[in-house]
Chains A and B, each alone.
Chain A
Amino acid sequence: MRAAKIFFFFLAALTLLFLTGCFGSRETDETFYVLAMGFDKGEKDNMVVTVSIANPKAIAGMGGGGGGGGSAKGEGKNVVVQSVETYGPLAGIEQLGTSTSRHLSLLHTKAYIFSEDMAREGLGSWFSTLSRYHELRATSYVFVCRGKAKDFLEKNQPPLELSPTKQYELIGSLSAAHGLYQNSMFKEFYQDYKSWSIEPSLPLAAIHEGGLETAKPGVVKGGEQTLGRYVAGEVPITGENKAQFDGTAVFRGDKMVGTLNGEETRYYLMLRGQFENGFLIILDPLVAEPSGIGLSVHQARSPKYATRFNEDGSVTVDVDIYLEADLAAMLSGINYESPDNKPILEEAFSENIREGCQKLIERTQEEFKSDIFGFGEQVKGHFWTVQSWRNFDWLQKYPEAQVNVTVHTRIRRTGLQLKTTQVKSGE
């Protein structure tokens, strides 16, 4: 009797498990993992969806374990790129499924790449579609591609990376090393374009197939003194790595309105307090002919924002940026390590950054009319309720706001040299 009861319960429990279980499971050999997804404007339908599918056999190497197989050595390309012209992102996945043998999974899609044309038309509807899909990874990176996303995915075959997802992950973290582009995740863009206090922005990507001919004149040839005067696709690099990431796409709402180059992106990150590290070049303040001084800069602490309403109703935003610079390269030979010269350099550098920031702010106010810095987040504190904040409509008022930038720089370290001496010559 007792045994029968126990058996009955066991059976019931087992049935419960079998009735509910297993259906959500999916073996790895029933799935293709889409590593990156690209979107272009379609000619006949809404869009061309391009997927870059991982080839696990090639990535796992199969050399060590699968010695027995022999025939097909599993080598070949790490990714397979396929495109379809279709209605929308998920419809594209469905349609691509007709040519692949397995389910296409977005669980490991690390990058969503939108072409500039699409971005200028507005990304909101596609973002909301994707973010509703249960397989979406909200921490994946989003890029705006100058040119066609299809080309980008097809030609982006980093020769040194085993798997392309690693490229996107590392590129995200590399932003902290030079600040030439920002690090923007899917969820951030989605939140920003819904926000009443900030406008979204995305990093720029492009394929550069030319050579060095896109180079712009440097400081000694009468050009600008900065490194970051390029945007992706124009940086004069030759070699096998064809993909470039540089600059920022500025959005108003979900529509792209313009681009910032690498240098402006650095100012943008400084103003947002997200600038981690970077090598900046300024003109030597004590030498007449143009000569550069390289400084390795990082943000000492987060910027301080002070906002106030003026009597006429306009808003003033004061931003204090705190930078720390390390001496990196000095071509003039002046001893800037000395306590007398250091303040001069600090002063010149602060002024240089301040000017850059002010120019950038003017551009966003006049050209883009878009508060990508999120000053609205600071202004919001003056309002008691969300309703009054929304009625105030900051994003419309931003172009009229007065933004003052103050830069505080300290040169802390001089690298491995304590003193600069002039070049001695026997003449």
Chain B
Amino acid sequence: MTENGWCGMSILANLLKLITYEENPDREGFVLKETSADQKATGKNEAPSIGKNSPDEQKKAQAGRGSFKKPVRPAGKVTEKPRKIKDSGEAGAVQTGQTAGRVNEKPVVDKLSVSASLAENRDTVGILYGLPENKDIIMRDIVIGTEPVINGFVIFIDGLVDKSVQDLLFQALMLFAARTAPPEKGKLALFVKERLLPGNQITLQSRFRDILDAVNYGDTALFLEGCADALLVETKGWEHRGIDRPTIEQVVRGPQEAFGETLRTNTALIRKLIKNENLTTEFIKVGTRNQVNVAVMYLRDLANPALVAEVKRRIDSVKTDLIIDSGTLEELIEDNPYNLNPTVMATERPDRVAASIIEGRVGIIVDGSPFALIVPTTMYEMLHTGEELYTRWQFGTFIRYLRALAFYLSFLLPGLYLSVVLFHQEMIPTELLLAIAGNRERVPFPSLVEVLLMEISFELIREAGLRIPGVMGTTIGIVGALILGQAAVQANIVSPILVILVAVTGLSSFAIPYYSLAFSLRIYRFFYIAVGAMLGFFGISIGLFAQIILTANLKSFGVPYLAPIGPRTVTGADVVTRLPVFFHEKRPDYLNPLEIARQPDVSRGWLEQKDGGKDN
């Protein structure tokens, strides 16, 4: 019996071995092992094996849940960013021991200051940037042609700097600097800045943190022998996309330029539209690793100071390692990230940002992102394009009402169709019902499956059309929409009336100008399909009720999301109906700007009537 039992066990073990995953060390030369931090987090007790790890890593291990997974750093490799230093404390004093053994000891850059010794500075910079492995960091020794000559070096990042500007600087320093150097070495930097360098923005910095930030951002740093300051010369000039036409928010009438990826260009685009000294651009650095600049733009004498303070407070408080696009920042600062509806407006049009700033809102521009954020915003503004103000008011109003229709159709139409076909057949004309019924006779699926099939195919076409490589071009839209729909109808998988319905729904959702809002409605649509198929109009009413409550509960930077209708306030002349421009006397009430009036009662001064012609 024991023999049998043992035998059985062995077979079982072999079977288990057969179906269990085992690494093959022969083929896998490199395995990305978990770091000690990960092991701690997952609760594996392998403390002895990691005992030899540096104290630095052990400290990291305490981060626990939520810390980021990082691959093991290959031993001996120099990290780009130094993290720790034996605190040397005082300015200008970098310990020589560090400079010697620069591989193991990582200085805390925040506390480092520029030394008077050029060699020391050179070493410090070498450690900080991980030279010489780090190839696009250029360190160049120069001799300034003064009497007597001054030794120095510059450091900059290749590709981020404008070479022509730099050539000019080097020329000025090395060739044309035939002057007498000042006697005191301490004022050398000031002397170079004031007399020798023709650059347009030059600052003196003594802290390495500031110097590195500037160099990382495309400036050139100049260190001089015997000087405890470094000169930072503005030489930003990297390759970037020019100003293009808007691709997402196109308009027929109105400015045809869009934001690019360069922060200063973007701020300039706005400033170009608001020529006002009160327009303030504040920079806040976000992202511990990529140190991105976020510009907060507002009108000092108009925007509510509490609003500006809140925006800055939220952005300031963001602690994350990476912000690439304004979308990431949007999610970190928005009021209700769990609701489907977006509560921050993103736009690629400078004219919209400018118009919003002049209404008393705050614009947020993230470096590297061609989409500026506007806060606070309401759902009604997400259904505006700005173009309504550029065309005549009748046209603008017409488009707004059309868009309002599209808004409802885009999330309700399939659900309504299902409830009518399944529950409320008496509601539609007999001929239409018979046409629907006749076309559905050959379709083997229930209407719900039919609708879902079509909706999912449509979403696929949408996604595929967006992701398809450019060379295959725009064919997918035509192929997908026409051929697929036609073939599906001919194969009796869906009824033709449904193809029309889904197409109209899709068109409606494209007619919603703000992409995020359209996207949220796309998702809402599936909820309404579900409730419509289960409970008919009753279900749709429940859904609408719930959605309205959820939406009315939202706030965008302290402003109710459905203002001025959600909580009823002063409606103004530009919510749904776009009244003539000479009626736009007040800024939106819910923004509480410092000055509510935007124009006097009579804005058309040429009129002879005292009321400005508003009565006729």
Residues in A lying within 8 Å of B, measured CB to CB? 17-18, 20-22, 24-29, 31, 33, 35, 54, 56-62, 64-69, 74, 105, 107-108, 110, 135, 137, 162-163, 165-166
Question: Are A105 and B425 also in contact (CB < 8 A) when A20-B535, A165-B430 are?
Answer: yes
Interface presence of B531 (CB below 8 A):
yes
Within 8 A of A (CB), among B480-503: 489-492, 495-496
Query: Is there an interface contact between B491 and A166, defined as CB atoms closer than 8 Å?
Result: no
Which residue from A26, A57, A107 sits with its C-beta under 8 Å from B441? A57
Query: Is there an interface contact between A25 and B536, defined as CB atoms closer than 8 Å?
Result: yes
Provide the residues of chain B in CB contact with A107, threshold 8 Å.
425-426
Question: Are A27 and B433 also in contact (CB < 8 A) when A21-B535, A57-B438, A59-B438 are?
Answer: no
Interface presence of B526 (CB below 8 A):
no
Other 7 A-B pairs with CB < 8 A, given A59-B438, A60-B439: A18-B534, A25-B533, A28-B433, A28-B436, A35-B430, A59-B434, A59-B435
Question: Are A62 and B430 also in contact (CB < 8 A) when A21-B539, A28-B421, A107-B425 are?
Answer: no
Which residue from B437, B443, B446, B535 sits with its C-beta under 8 Å from A33? B437
Query: Is there an interface contact between B534 and A22, defined as CB atoms closer than 8 Å?
Result: yes
Q: How large is the interface on B (under 10, 10 to 19, 20 to 34, 35 or more residues)?
A: 20 to 34
Total contacts A-B at CB 8 Å? 110
Q: Closest 6 interchain pairs by CB?
A: A60-B438, A21-B534, A56-B438, A25-B422, A28-B437, A56-B437
CA distance A35 to B434 in the complex (A): 11
Q: From residue B531, how far is it (CB to closest CB) to chain A in Å?
A: 7
CA distance A163 to B496 in the complex (A): 20
CA distance A59 to B432 in the complex (A): 10
Provide the residues of chain B in CB contact with A26, threshold 8 Å.
422-423, 425
Interface presence of B122 (CB below 8 A):
no
Query: Is there an interface contact between A22 and B431, defined as CB atoms closer than 8 Å?
Result: no
Query: Is there an interface contact between B440 and A29, defined as CB atoms closer than 8 Å?
Result: yes
Provide the residues of chain B in CB contact with A59, threshold 8 Å.
431, 434-435, 438
Most chain A Cβ neighbours within 10 Å, of B430, B439, B440, B530: B430
* A-contact 0/1 string along B554-586, CB 8 Å cutoff: 000000000000000000000000000000000
Query: Is there an interface contact between A64 and B534, defined as CB atoms closer than 8 Å?
Result: no
Q: From residue B485, how far is it (CB to closest CB) to chain A in Å?
A: 11
Provide the residues of chain A in CB contact with B326, threshold 8 Å.
none
Query: Is there an interface contact between A62 and B438, defined as CB atoms closer than 8 Å?
Result: yes
Provide the residues of chain B in CB contact with A61, threshold 8 Å.
438
Interface presence of B272 (CB below 8 A):
no
Provide the residues of chain A in CB contact with B489, threshold 8 Å.
65
* A-contact 0/1 string along B518-553, CB 8 Å cutoff: 000000000000110111100100000000000000
Provide the residues of chain B in CB contact with A28, threshold 8 Å.
421, 425, 433, 436-437, 440, 447
Provide the residues of chain A in CB contact with B533, threshold 8 Å.
22, 25
Which residue from B425, B442, B530 sits with its C-beta under 8 Å from A69? B442
Provide the residues of chain B in CB contact with A74, threshold 8 Å.
438, 441
CA distance A17 to B425 in the complex (A): 21
Q: From residue A241, how far is it (CB to closest CB) to chain B in Å?
A: 20
Q: From residue A354, how far is it (CB to closest CB) to chain B in Å?
A: 42
CA distance A54 to B437 in the complex (A): 10
Within 8 A of A (CB), among B407-451: 421-423, 425-426, 430-431, 433-443, 446-447
Q: What are 11 residue pairs bridging A and B, where the CB atoms are less than 8 Å apart in the complex?
A: A17-B534, A22-B533, A26-B425, A27-B422, A54-B430, A56-B435, A59-B435, A60-B434, A67-B490, A68-B490, A166-B431
Query: Is there an interface contact between B536 and A24, defined as CB atoms closer than 8 Å?
Result: yes
CA distance A137 to B495 in the complex (A): 27
- Can you name the residue of chain B whose Cβ is closest to the Cβ of A18? B534
Q: From residue B517, how far is it (CB to closest CB) to chain A in Å?
A: 24
- Can you name the residue of chain A whose Cβ is closest to the Cβ of B441? A57
Provide the residues of chain A in CB contact with B426, threshold 8 Å.
107-108, 135, 137
CA distance A110 to B431 in the complex (A): 12
Q: From residue A212, how far is it (CB to closest CB) to chain B in Å?
A: 34
Query: Is there an interface contact between A165 and B437, defined as CB atoms closer than 8 Å?
Result: no
Provide the residues of chain A in CB contact with B441, threshold 8 Å.
29, 56-57, 60, 62, 74
Question: Are A33 and B438 also in contact (CB < 8 A) when A25-B423, A64-B496 are?
Answer: no
- Can you name the residue of chain B whose Cβ is closest to the Cβ of A78? B434
Provide the residues of chain A in CB contact with B496, threshold 8 Å.
64-65
Question: Are A108 and B442 also in contact (CB < 8 A) when A21-B539, A67-B490 are?
Answer: no
CA distance A158 to B465 in the complex (A): 50
Query: Is there an interface contact between A27 and B531, defined as CB atoms closer than 8 Å?
Result: no
Most chain A Cβ neighbours within 10 Å, of B437, B442, B490, B530: B437
CA distance A205 to B422 in the complex (A): 34
Query: Is there an interface contact between A58 and B438, defined as CB atoms closer than 8 Å?
Result: yes
Q: From residue B544, how far is it (CB to closest CB) to chain A in Å?
A: 15
- Can you name the residue of chain B whose Cβ is closest to the Cβ of A17? B534
Q: From residue A104, how far is it (CB to closest CB) to chain B in Å?
A: 13
CA distance A24 to B423 in the complex (A): 7
Which residue from B433, B440, B531 sits with its C-beta under 8 Å from A17? B531
Most chain A Cβ neighbours within 10 Å, of B438, B439, B491, B534: B438
Most chain B Cβ neighbours within 10 Å, of A27, A33, A62, A64: A27
CA distance A68 to B441 in the complex (A): 13
Q: From residue B92, how far is it (CB to closest CB) to chain A in Å?
A: 52
Query: Is there an interface contact between A29 and B437, defined as CB atoms closer than 8 Å?
Result: yes
Which residue from A66, A110, A137 sits with its C-beta under 8 Å from B442? A66
Query: Is there an interface contact between A108 and B430, defined as CB atoms closer than 8 Å?
Result: yes
CA distance A105 to B422 in the complex (A): 13
CA distance A259 to B422 in the complex (A): 43
- Can you name the residue of chain A whose Cβ is closest to the Cβ of B493? A68
Provide the residues of chain A in CB contact with B433, threshold 8 Å.
28, 33, 108
CA distance A343 to B436 in the complex (A): 57
* A-contact 0/1 string along B394-408, CB 8 Å cutoff: 000000000000000
CA distance A18 to B533 in the complex (A): 11
CA distance A51 to B108 in the complex (A): 92
Q: From residue A92, how far is it (CB to closest CB) to chain B in Å?
A: 20
Provide the residues of chain B in CB contact with A60, threshold 8 Å.
434-439, 441
CA distance A21 to B536 in the complex (A): 9
Query: Is there an interface contact between B495 and A65, defined as CB atoms closer than 8 Å?
Result: yes
Provide the residues of chain A in CB contact with B447, threshold 8 Å.
27-28
CA distance A62 to B425 in the complex (A): 20
Provide the residues of chain B in CB contact with A166, threshold 8 Å.
430-431
Query: Is there an interface contact between A65 and B534, defined as CB atoms closer than 8 Å?
Result: no
Q: From residue B132, how far is it (CB to closest CB) to chain A in Å?
A: 50
Provide the residues of chain B in CB contact with A105, threshold 8 Å.
425
Which residue from B434, B534, B535 sits with its C-beta under 8 Å from A56? B434
Which residue from B423, B430, B443 sits with its C-beta under 8 Å from A110? B430
- Can you name the residue of chain A whose Cβ is closest to the Cβ of B542? A17
Query: Is there an interface contact between A108 and B439, defined as CB atoms closer than 8 Å?
Result: no
Query: Is there an interface contact between B434 and A163, defined as CB atoms closer than 8 Å?
Result: yes
CA distance A56 to B434 in the complex (A): 5
Provide the residues of chain B in CB contact with A18, threshold 8 Å.
534
Q: From residue B415, how far is it (CB to closest CB) to chain A in Å?
A: 13
Q: From residue A169, how far is it (CB to closest CB) to chain B in Å?
A: 8
Q: From residue B339, how far is it (CB to closest CB) to chain A in Å?
A: 14
CA distance A66 to B426 in the complex (A): 26
- Can you name the residue of chain A whose Cβ is closest to the Cβ of B492? A68
CA distance A128 to B423 in the complex (A): 25
Question: Are A54 and B434 also in contact (CB < 8 A) when A17-B534, A64-B496, A68-B490 are?
Answer: yes
Provide the residues of chain B in CB contact with A33, threshold 8 Å.
425, 430, 433-434, 437
Q: From residue B570, how far is it (CB to closest CB) to chain A in Å?
A: 38
Query: Is there an interface contact between B492 and A31, defined as CB atoms closer than 8 Å?
Result: no
Q: From residue B556, how far is it (CB to closest CB) to chain A in Å?
A: 24
* A-contact 0/1 string along B91-124, CB 8 Å cutoff: 0000000000000000000000000000000000
CA distance A69 to B434 in the complex (A): 19
Query: Is there an interface contact between B439 and A65, defined as CB atoms closer than 8 Å?
Result: yes
Which residue from B431, B439, B536 sits with its C-beta under 8 Å from A62? B439
CA distance A58 to B535 in the complex (A): 31
CA distance A65 to B496 in the complex (A): 7
CA distance A20 to B434 in the complex (A): 28
CA distance A108 to B438 in the complex (A): 15
Provide the residues of chain A in CB contact with B437, threshold 8 Å.
28-29, 31, 33, 56, 60
